Amino acid sequence: MKTIATYDSAAGTFTLEKNIWRGTFPIADLPKWLAFYRHQMQRYPAQAGNYALDVEALEMLAKQLEDRERGAR
């Protein structure tokens, strides 16, 4: 079950999608969601692998946004 995180610059949001679940949030909340899923990994070790996919997708999105911002300077 792969997790995909996408950014909508026009709306200022990101969408996290996994299986049939999908959630869209303000881009400013990206660090909050990363922290949440990292905490879930620690809190529920038996499910850490599932949460790791969410963390990986969000980290990848955060890196893409950082790279985009660096390129715009």
CA distances from 35 to 30, 32, 60 (A): 9, 5, 14
Checking if the pLDDT of 72 tops 80, the result is no
pLDDT of residue 68: 87
- Interval 22-56: pLDDT, tens: 999 999 999 999 999 999 999 999 999 999 999 99
pTM of the full structure: 0.89
CA distances from 16 to 3, 25, 41, 71, 72 (A): 7, 8, 17, 24, 25
